[in-house]
Structure 1
Amino acid sequence: MSTVMPTSMAARPTSPTQWSIALLGLGALALLLPTCLDLARTTWQSEEQGHGPLILAVSLWVVWQRRQELMQAAVEARPSPIGGWALLLAALALYVVGRSQAILFFEVGALIPALAGAAAAAFGWRFVRVLAFPLLFLVFMVPLPQMVIDSVTASLKQAVSAIAEDVLYFIGYPIARSGVVLMVGQYQLLVADACSGLNSMFSLTSLGVLYLYLTKHKSRLRNALIVASILPIAFLANIVRVMILVLVTYHFGDEAGQGFIHGAAGMVLFVIAIVLLFSFDAFLGLFFRNRKKKGVAA
C-alpha cells in the first residue's frame, strides 16, 4: 500500500533567492569574523571601545527584525553589478590595507561599504536601502584614529574642567584650576581622558540614533532636534559627573572619590544623559502634538 504525502509536508527545494542570501551571509561572516575576533581580544576590552559588541549585536538584531522585508527585496531583486562590484572592490582594497597595516579605522570602516557593495551586486540598491540602518549603525563600532581622539579629548577636558570649576566656585566651594587639574580643599584631581566625555558622547549618540529608529517619529524637524541635542546633553552630563567626583572627594576623602563612587559615577552620567534625552523628546512631543491638533482644528 503506497502513501502519497501532502504537498505541504513534502520537502521544498531551496530557492535561488535563499541560496543567494545564504552566500551573502557567508561572505559577510568571512569578513566580520576575523576582525571581530581581533577586536574582542584587544580594542573591545578597553573602556573606550567596550560598546563595540553591543553595536554589532543591535545591528544583527535589526537585520533579523527586517528579515521579511529583506526576503521580499531579494525576490524582487534588480542587481546592480557595476556599481555594486565597484563599491565592493574599493572597500576590499581598503580592508586589505587596514588589516595588513593594523589600521583599525580602515579595517573596520571598510566592512560597511563592502557589505553594501556585495548586497547591491547580488540584489540591487533596494535591498541595500532595507539594510541601510543596521549598516550605518555599524559606524559606531569603528574605532576613531588616535590622532583624532587625542585632539578632541584635550579640548573637552579643558572645557569640562573650566565649567566644573566655575559652577563649584559660584556655589561657594574653595576650588581652583590649573589646566585640567582641579584643586579643592587639600585635594588635587586630574581630569583624565576618561572624564573628557568623548566616550559618553559616542555611546549616547549611538543610543539616541537607535532610540529614533525605534520610536519612528514622523516629523523630520523633531528627529533633527533630538539628534542635535545628543552631544550637548552628553557634555552636560559629563560635567555633572566631574562635579560629583569633586564633591565626594572634598567631603569624604580621596579614597571615596577614587573608589566605588568613581566607577558608579559613569553609570550616573549615563542615567542623567538618558533622562535628559527622554525628557527633551517628551517636551518636543507636547509641542508637535499641540501643533498637529491645531492643524486639524483649522
Structure 2
Amino acid sequence: MAAVLSFISVVAAWVALYWDSFPPLLRRWNTDDYSYCWLVVPLAIYVAWQRKDLLPKVLTPSSGSGYLVLLLGGLLFFLGKAAAVDALVFVSMWLCVVALVLFVYGWRSMKAFFFPLLVLAFAVPPPPFINRTLTFELRLISSDISVRIMQFIDIPVFREGNVIDLGVIQLHVVDACSGLRYVFPTILLGILMGYWFNSRTWQRVLVILSTVPTAIFTNALRIAIVGYLARNVSVETAESFFHDASGIVIYLLSIVVLATWSLLLNLLGGRKAEQRADSRPGYYGPPTGRALHIFIMAAVLGLFFAGNQYLLTGRVVPERISFDHFPLQIGDYSGKREYYDENVLRSLGSDDYLAGVFSGKQSGRDILVLVTYYDYQEPQRAAHNPVSCLLGGGGWSLASSRDLPADPQSGRPFKVRRLLLDKPGQRLLAFYWFQQRGRVITDEYMNKVYLAVDSVTRQRTDGSLVRVELLLEDGESVEHGQKVLDNFIKNFSTRLKPYIPE
C-alpha cells in the first residue's frame, strides 16, 4: 500500500510542477519537425518491457545517485524558467524520470533501463539554436545533392543558395524541406534498428552513424523526384507530391535503407546471443526504503513547485509607455505603422511591438523596423535571435554575421549584430540588438545569462529585441548601407528610451 501511495504522490507532484510546461511541449510535438515525438513514449515503454528479463535478481535503490539526479533536474528547471529556455525544463522532466528509476531499481538495473531511457530522451525537442545551426546547413547539403542527382539524369536545373530553379517551377528549399524533420526521427530509427536487429556493439554504432547520411540523401532524393515530376509529368503533380506524399515515401525509403544495412552487417559479423541476468520477469529484491525515497522525491518536487510560485509572485513588471504613442517622424524619416494578425502575434509572444517602414525624404530609402517588447520573459515568449525568422522564408541565405563595435562618430553609441542575407538579385542588410534592463547585448547566449541573473537578483525579466533592415540597391556596398542604417539608428535609438525601461 505504501508503494502505491508513494507512486501516486510523486506522479501528482511531477504533473503539478510541470503543468504549465506541457502545453509548449505538446505544441512542439504538434509541429511537422517533431511529430515523431508522439511515438517516443510508447516506444520507450515497449522497449523497457522487452528488457525486463535483464533486471538483476536483487534490486537495491540507489538513493545517493537518485537525489543527485533529482537536484540536477531541479537546477535545470529553475535555470530554464529564469533564462526562458524551455529545452532545459524539458530535460528536467526527463531527469526526474531517471531519478525515479534509480529510487525504485538502482544503478544495477541500468543494463535493462539505459536503452529505454535513451529512447525516452528523444521526446525532448532540441533547443531552437540547434534547429538554426543544424537544419540550415543540412538544407544546403540536400539542395546540392539533389541538383547533382537531377543533372545526372539530364534535368536542366540551376541552384542559387537554397533556391532550385527548374524553369517550370522554383523550389524554395528553406521553406519546404526541413532537414530536422528527417534527421532526428531517422537517428531514433537507427537506434531502434540497431537494438532490434543487431547484437554486437560495433554493428549498432555503424547503423547509428549511417542515419544522418541516410536522412540527407533521402531528403535530396525527394527534391530530385519533384524535379523529375515537374519536368516530365506536370507542375501540379510535382507540387502535390512535394507537399502531400513525399514525406511518407521518403521515410519509408529510410526504413528500407537502414534495415538493409543492419541485416548486411549481421551477415558480415554474425549475431551474438544476448546474455540475460534472469529469465523470470518481475523478480524483485526487498522493498525496504524504496517507498520512503519516493515519498521524499515527491516532497522535493513540491518544494520546487513552491519555489517557482514564489518567484512568479515576486516578479517585477516596470512601468513604460506603449508603442501606440511612438512618434512616426524621426529626423528625415517618416514612418508608417504595420499591424500583424493574430497568428503572427501568437508566434511573437510579445506584450507590445512596433513594426513599420520608415522612408527617408532625401535618401529615398525604406528602412524596415521591428521592435518586440516583453513585460516578462519565459519559455515560449522571449526575445530570440532573429536569424531563423529572416531565413524562414523567401529563399534568403545567410552570407555573413558579425558584431559591429560602437561607432560614436556615426551617432551609434552601442554595438550591433550585422547580418547580410542574399538571394538571386537581392541583398538584405539587417542590424539587431537585445535591449534589456539597461543593457545592449548582441550575443544570444549572454542575453540568456543576464536574463537568469536578473531574474534572481532583480526579479525582472523585461526586455526587447530591436531589428532594422535595409534592402541594398544594385551595386551598393555593404559599408554604404551600413552608414544609412547608422544614420537612422542615431535618432531612432534615443526615441526608444521611454518605451524600453532601463
What range describes the TM-score normalised by the shorter chain of this pair? 0.7 to 0.9
Residue 269 of structure 1 is matched in structure 2 by 250
**Higher mean C-alpha deviation, range 245-254 or range 85-94:** 245-254
Cα deviation code 1:154-200 (max 9, x no counterpart) = 21121111122122123221111111111113322111255142221
The alpha-carbon deviation at position 260 of structure 1 amounts to: 4.5
Residue 81 of structure 1 is matched in structure 2 by 63
Residue 200 of structure 2 is matched in structure 1 by 219
Is residue 2:228 matched to residue 1:228? Answer: no
Residue 190 of structure 1 is matched in structure 2 by 172
Is residue 2:124 matched to residue 1:138? Answer: no
Gap change, CA 1:228 and 1:131, over 3 Å in 2: same
Is residue 2:26 matched to residue 1:44? Answer: no
Cα deviation code 1:271-290 (max 9, x no counterpart) = 11111111112222221239
Is residue 2:238 matched to residue 1:257? Answer: yes
Residue 10 of structure 1 is matched in structure 2 by none
Find the aligned partners of 2:199 and 2:271 in 1 and give their Cα distance: 15
Residue of 265, 275, 278 corresponding to 2:259: 278
Find the aligned partners of 1:145 and 1:87 in 2 and give their Cα distance: 21
Q: 2:171 is paired with a residue of what secondary structure?
A: strand
**Higher mean C-alpha deviation, range 153-162 or range 89-98:** 89-98
Residue of 142, 151, 155 corresponding to 1:169: 151
Find the aligned partners of 2:188 and 2:237 in 1 and give their Cα distance: 31
The alpha-carbon deviation at position 78 of structure 1 amounts to: 2.4
Residue 111 of structure 1 is matched in structure 2 by 93
Find the aligned partners of 1:83 and 1:126 in 2 and give their Cα distance: 12
In the alignment, is the contact (CA less than 8 A) between 1:104 and 1:143 conserved in 2? no
Find the aligned partners of 1:244 and 1:176 in 2 and give their Cα distance: 16
- Decide which structure has the larger Cα Rg and report it: 2
5+ residue gaps, structure 2: 273-502
Find the aligned partners of 1:138 and 1:174 in 2 and give their Cα distance: 45
When normalised by structure 2's length, the TM-score is 0.49
Q: 2:60 is paired with a residue of what secondary structure?
A: coil
One-letter identity of the residue aligned with 1:79: P
One-letter identity of the residue aligned with 2:257: L
The alpha-carbon deviation at position 103 of structure 1 amounts to: 2.3
Find the aligned partners of 1:103 and 1:88 in 2 and give their Cα distance: 19
The alpha-carbon deviation at position 147 of structure 1 amounts to: 1.7
Gap change, CA 1:49 and 1:31, over 3 Å in 2: farther
- The structure where strand makes up a greater share of residues is 2
Cα deviation code 1:200-238 (max 9, x no counterpart) = 1111111221222233x3322211211111111111111
Residue of 132, 142, 154 corresponding to 1:160: 142
Q: 2:126 is paired with a residue of what secondary structure?
A: coil
CA RMSD of aligned residues (A): 2.9
Q: 2:125 is paired with a residue of what secondary structure?
A: coil
Find the aligned partners of 1:194 and 1:31 in 2 and give their Cα distance: 37
One-letter identity of the residue aligned with 1:228: L
**Higher mean C-alpha deviation, range 47-56 or range 162-171:** 162-171
In the alignment, is the contact (CA less than 8 A) between 2:63 and 2:102 conserved in 1? yes
Gap change, CA 1:69 and 1:32, over 3 Å in 2: farther
Find the aligned partners of 2:51 and 2:271 in 1 and give their Cα distance: 33
Gap change, CA 1:165 and 1:210, over 3 Å in 2: same
Find the aligned partners of 1:121 and 1:278 in 2 and give their Cα distance: 37
Is residue 2:188 matched to residue 1:202? Answer: no
**Higher mean C-alpha deviation, range 61-70 or range 275-284:** 61-70
Residue 46 of structure 2 is matched in structure 1 by 61
Is residue 2:77 matched to residue 1:91? Answer: no
When normalised by structure 1's length, the TM-score is 0.79
**Higher mean C-alpha deviation, range 27-36 or range 183-192:** 27-36
Is residue 2:219 matched to residue 1:238? Answer: yes
Gap change, CA 1:196 and 1:123, over 3 Å in 2: closer
Residue 178 of structure 1 is matched in structure 2 by 160
**Higher mean C-alpha deviation, range 168-177 or range 119-128:** 119-128
Find the aligned partners of 1:78 and 1:29 in 2 and give their Cα distance: 26
One-letter identity of the residue aligned with 2:25: L
Runs of 4+ in structure 1 off by over 6 angstroms are: none
5+ residue gaps, structure 1: 1-13, 292-298
Find the aligned partners of 2:97 and 2:49 in 1 and give their Cα distance: 16
Higher relative contact order at CA 8 Å, sep ≥6: structure 1 or structure 2? 2
In the alignment, is the contact (CA less than 8 A) between 1:200 and 1:270 conserved in 2? yes
Find the aligned partners of 2:254 and 2:33 in 1 and give their Cα distance: 17
One-letter identity of the residue aligned with 2:146: A
In the alignment, is the contact (CA less than 8 A) between 1:24 and 1:119 conserved in 2? no
Find the aligned partners of 1:248 and 1:174 in 2 and give their Cα distance: 13
Q: 1:189 is paired with a residue of what secondary structure?
A: strand
Is residue 2:110 matched to residue 1:124? Answer: no
Gap change, CA 1:66 and 1:285, over 3 Å in 2: closer
Q: 1:77 is paired with a residue of what secondary structure?
A: coil
- The structure where helix makes up a greater share of residues is 1
